[in-house]
Structures are given as structure tokens and as C-alpha cells.
Structure 1
Amino acid sequence: MTDRTRAFRRKPARRIAAVGVVAAGALLLAACGNDDDMSGMDHGSSAAASATAEPGNSASAADFNDADVSFAQMMIPHHQQALEMAKLADGRASDSEIKELAAQIEKAQDPEIKTMEGWLKSWGKPTQAESMDHSGHSGDSGDSGMDGMMSDEDMKELEAAKGTEFDKMFAQMMIDHHDGAISMAEDEQKNGSNADVKKMADAIVEGQSAEVKQLQGILDRL
């Protein structure tokens, strides 16, 4: 196994003036006749206001901003690569805890991918940022802005490994991968506006931080 030295990345009122009954009536008529003007008071995207909610996806009909869109577009391929890594454990991993954790990652992240795809569809946004290729990479350097993504070479090395070698490589690579997801989720916590997207970001930070500790513990005993 090629030695890797990877550092963890922690990024860590409305006023209503009433002047007599006549004035109040005039204000009411004006409001009724100018619905379009009132729509301009929406805090989020106009697309969000008209979007039809997907079943179980309250975020699809709610306000959102560019940070919410970017989070979903980047986290989808990030999760997809984690699923690829987890599926490689079948027939290669020898440590029971690695096997259990791989199954846990598949169970948690596959539904999240479907949820994020539903949000983007309802917002009228592509499920992949225009600057990314199908692998989630962009530009000549392969830097998609997604921390923790493995290179094609990394994935080939993991696929070729077996037994304890696979276990160690999987644990270290997944730590790095999780750290990247945590970093992106922390950005969403700070900059996002959609309550449901931010809730998912909270869950990612909490759940994957716990898995990082578990993976480090596995590495320490292997």
C-alpha cells in the first residue's frame, strides 16, 4: 500500500399604517390588485415559490439560495464515490467492523442522494454543476472544489487491495473522504438558507464525524 500522509480538514417588520377606515380599505384593495408586487418580497429564489413539492421533500417547495444548490450538486457525486468505495468492501474486506461500516455508509448515503436529486429537480437546477464531469471532477487539475474526493488511481489501488491491506486503505481513504464531506456540510451550515438542506448538513457533520472517530480506532488496532 502506498504511504499517504493526509491531514484532517476541520473547517472544523413589517409596518402597517392605518389612517381611518377609508385608508385601510384602500390599502386592502391595493394589496389585492398587486399580487405580483407582493411576490417580490420572497426571500429566496422565485423558482422555489412555484416549485411543486416532491413527496417527503419539503425543501423542494421552500426558499433556497446558491449555497443550497451548490451543496446538493457537489454532495451527490461525493456520496456516489463513497458508495463505490463501500461496495468494494464486499469480497475484499477482512475486518468485520469495516464490513459493517461499509454497509452502514451504503444505507445512509444512498437515500440522501435521492433526496438531493429531488431537491434539485424541484428547484429547476441540474443535478451536476456545469463545471464538473461525470466523475465530479472539473478543470485540468481535477479539482472540483470537493474536499476528500479520491482520484482514479486511488480507486484502482483500493479495488486491487484485499484483506488487511484493503481494510487499512479503506479506513484511511474514508476518513479523508468524510473529512471532505464534513467541510462541505459546514459551509452549508454557514451559508445555506433552506432549512431542510441545512438539516441534512447537520446530520452529515454529526454522523460522519462519529464515523471518522470509529475509522481512526480501526486503523489504530489494525
Structure 2
Amino acid sequence: MGVTPCGNTRTRTARRTKSHWLAAAELGLISSTFSTIVSQLFAARIGRDASVDWMTVAAIPARDWAISAEPSWSAILAGIAFHQWADFSWAMVFFGLLGRWTAELRPLTILMLALPWAVFSSATEWFVLVPLLPFWQPLFTLQQPYWIGLLVHGASAFMYPLFAWLRWPPGEAPESDARFGKVRLSGSLAIVIALAGITLLSSLGRELPWIGRDKVSDQTYIRHMTAHHAQGIELARLGIKRAQDPDLRSLAMLMVASQTGENRIFDNWWQSWFDTAMPGCSAEERSDMPGYLTSVQMQQVSAASPDQFDALFVEMMTLHHKGAVKMADQQWRSDGDPRLRIMAHAIRHEQQGEIALMQGAAGIAAVTAAFRNMFADNVN
């Protein structure tokens, strides 16, 4: 008789909880929205142009339709929607499909599992689902280093402990779960408000202060990469206008969008950190930059016949990208401001990836190249 009441209590308790699928769906909406907001607000803090990143995400299902030299609102919204669908799906897998094992976990246990899950889910997308099956889209993996996806998935997984509260109908959650959930929501709101405040200050020219060790070196890198990007944009615009291969035209559009966004960030950082206009590069500095094309080389591309243009464009853009990779690799290994170094790592990865895309990399070859590009300069 002593066992029956306990069993009945467990039954009544189980009946009071929602379907774990419904709770998983609610959690998925919350976690995906939180990661979207955090990604949007945090991107520029580490040298990312969020609009270009959303456009790249949109290109996973939408292919070349999403790519333009200036990210369109339709592509940005499509990228956000696709990202939220993916984040929502991972929450449904964790708490719905795997609910037999995860639905009853305590908040702290979920918290301990959240980061490994973020590593697993982001790696599965970056290594398999996007570049191989089902999407077969090498652009995302070659253009964005893995850690960007990890940060996004980490932001989403940060909200997973809320499930222990959401699985109960309103007002029926145990006090400890309800308290934990409310604290989690309050903390998440505080993060969003803090990031929004930093973003607002940045828009007013008050970025977080420069914290590097060698100001002259960082200033030189920003000036040189800005000038290098400016020529890259000029060359890429020729590709948009004259390339015969539609895939090459789309890639040239992505180059313009990426490097234009990066130059905006360089300019914002310079104005905020050094409180002065950015000096231009001298002719001597330009000639000394690795991969900076001469006026004769630029004229050769501009004057190339239609049947010769694509091959010459790829040759010159590859040379130009190799120079940018070398410059970014040196900055990544420097004592500069951590944000500049993180951005340099992304540029090194991105431009090596674009070289691979110009050479037609896809499938396993694209994944292998992208993985290697995260760790080294593989083109110089």
C-alpha cells in the first residue's frame, strides 16, 4: 500500500506536464529568435557584416538568387528565416526526437549538455548537411569559418535550459524550475539590451576602445587591407559586368558585398579607435602590398576579350586573394587588437575559400579545403 500513492503521485505529475513536442516547439521559437538577435547585434563587434552573412545563409537553399553585390532585404530575410528554421529544427531534435532521454532533465544538466550539442549541431551543418547532403552548397563552408556557426548555435543552446520550465503548463512548474527559467529569461534580456546599447554607441562612432599592443601595426594593417579591398572590389565589379560564367558572376557579387562590408567595419573602427580620418596609402605602399595588381594588370583584365575574360579574371583575382590571405595571416599571428585578429582569421578563410570556389571546388574537396583553411595559409 505504501508504493501505490507514490506511483499515483508520479502519474499525476506526469499528466500535468505538456507534450515534450509542444514544449520543444516553444523552446525552438525562443532559442532561434534569441540567436538571431544576438547574431545581428554581435556580428560587427568581431568584424562581420551581418547582412552579408544572412545573404550567404540564404544562398544555401536559394543558390545564386540570394547573391548580390549589395545584400537585398529579400535575401536577408530569407537568410534569417532559414537560420531560424534550422535552429528550431535542432531544438525539436534535442527535446522532441530525443525527448525520451532529455525531456525530464534538470536545468543544470541541460546547461551542461548545451555546449556539446552546439558543437555537434554546428559541425554537422558545416561539414555535412550544407556542403554535402542534402544541400550540396560549398559556398557557406568555404566562405564562413566554422567558429561563426558555433557561436550562433551556442547562442541558441544558451536558451535550452528553459525547457525544464516550458514543459509545464503555466503556473504548475516546480518553484525551482520556474525560478531558474525566470532568471534565465532576465539574463537573456540583459544580454540583448547590453548588445543593443553597444551597437547604438558604435553607430554613434563610439566603438569599444582599441586594446591591442602595437597601434602602428594595427593602423598599417587597416589602411593596407582597406586599400587592398578597394582594388578587389574594383576587380570584382568587372567580373559582375563581364564574366560569361553565371557562377563566376555570382561569386564576384559576393566578393563585392563581403569586401565592401569589411571596409565599412575597418572605417568605423578606425574612426572610433583613433579619432582621425584614415590616411590613404602611398603608391610605394601599394606596390609593396602582396597581391596588389599593377595598373597594367588591371587594364589587361578590363580589355580582355569575352572569350578570354573569365580565365584572366580568375588568374588575377586569385593572385589578388593570395596577397590578402598573406596579409590577414600575418595580422592573425600578431599582437593586435583581438577583434582585428578574429576578423583577419575570417578574411584568411573567406578568401582562400573564394579561390577554391573559382576553381570549382565542391563536395568532399570543398569540405577538406575549408577545414584546412581554418588553420593555415594554404595558398602562399
Distance in 1, Cα, partners of 2:217 & 2:249: 34
Q: Does 2:248 match 1:98? A: yes
Partner of 1:63: 211
The structural deviation recorded for 1:126 is: 4.3
Partner of 2:315: 172
Partner of 1:124: 275
Partner of 1:83: 233
Specify which structure has the bigger relative contact order, considering alpha-carbon pairs within 8 angstroms and separated by 6 or more residues. 1
CA contact (8 A) 2:240 2:253 kept: no
Distance in 2, Cα, partners of 1:84 & 1:209: 19
Of the three residues 45, 48, 73, the one matched with 2:223 is 73
Of the three residues 45, 54, 58, the one matched with 2:202 is 54
Distance in 2, Cα, partners of 1:80 & 1:216: 23
CA contact (8 A) 1:57 1:115 kept: no
Of the three residues 358, 364, 369, the one matched with 1:215 is 358
Query: Whose radius of gyration is greater, 1 or 2?
Result: 2
Of the three residues 298, 301, 304, the one matched with 1:161 is 304
Query: Structure 1: which amino acid aligns with 2:279?
Result: Q
CA contact (8 A) 1:149 1:177 kept: yes
CA deviation digits over 1:88-147, x for unaligned, max 9?
Answer: 123321011210110010111101101101111121354235xx33xxx217xx62x310
The residue correspondences of 1:126-141 to structure 2 (distance < 5 A) are: 126-128=277-279, 132-133=281-282, 137-138=283-284
In the superposition, the TM-score normalised over structure 1's length comes to 0.65
- Give unpaired runs (5+ residues) of structure 1: 1-52
Query: Structure 1: which amino acid aligns with 2:250?
Result: E
The structural deviation recorded for 1:149 is: 0.6
Q: 1:157 to 1:54 in 2, by over 3 A?
A: same
CA contact (8 A) 1:62 1:194 kept: yes
Distance in 2, Cα, partners of 1:151 & 1:108: 23
Query: Structure 2: which amino acid aligns with 1:63?
Result: I
In the superposition, the TM-score normalised over structure 2's length comes to 0.39
Query: Structure 2: which amino acid aligns with 1:197?
Result: L
CA contact (8 A) 2:205 2:271 kept: no
Residue aligned with 2:292, SS: coil
Q: 1:97 to 1:54 in 2, by over 3 A?
A: same
Partner of 2:337: 194
CA contact (8 A) 2:240 2:250 kept: no
Residue aligned with 1:91, SS: helix
CA contact (8 A) 1:158 1:169 kept: yes
Distance in 1, Cα, partners of 2:308 & 2:289: 26
CA deviation digits over 1:22-41, x for unaligned, max 9?
Answer: xxxxxxxxxxxxxxxxxxxx
Distance in 1, Cα, partners of 2:205 & 2:335: 17
Distance in 2, Cα, partners of 1:108 & 1:155: 20
Distance in 2, Cα, partners of 1:159 & 1:147: 21
Distance in 2, Cα, partners of 1:71 & 1:56: 24
Residue aligned with 1:209, SS: helix
Q: 1:58 to 1:148 in 2, by over 3 A?
A: farther
Q: Does 2:262 match 1:112? A: yes
Size of the aligned set, in residue pairs, is 159
Q: 1:60 to 1:138 in 2, by over 3 A?
A: farther
Partner of 1:24: none
Residue aligned with 2:358, SS: helix
CA contact (8 A) 1:92 1:163 kept: yes
Per residue, is there more helix in 1 or in 2?
A: 2
- Give unpaired runs (5+ residues) of structure 2: 1-200, 362-380
CA deviation digits over 1:36-87, x for unaligned, max 9?
Answer: xxxxxxxxxxxxxxxxx63398865131322221111100010000110111
CA deviation digits over 1:141-191, x for unaligned, max 9?
Answer: x62x31001111111111112423110011011111011001000111111
Residue aligned with 1:186, SS: helix
The structural deviation recorded for 1:214 is: 1.8
Query: Structure 1: which amino acid aligns with 2:202?
Result: E
Distance in 1, Cα, partners of 2:222 & 2:248: 27
Distance in 1, Cα, partners of 2:204 & 2:321: 26
Distance in 2, Cα, partners of 1:56 & 1:214: 37
Query: Structure 2: which amino acid aligns with 1:114?
Result: R
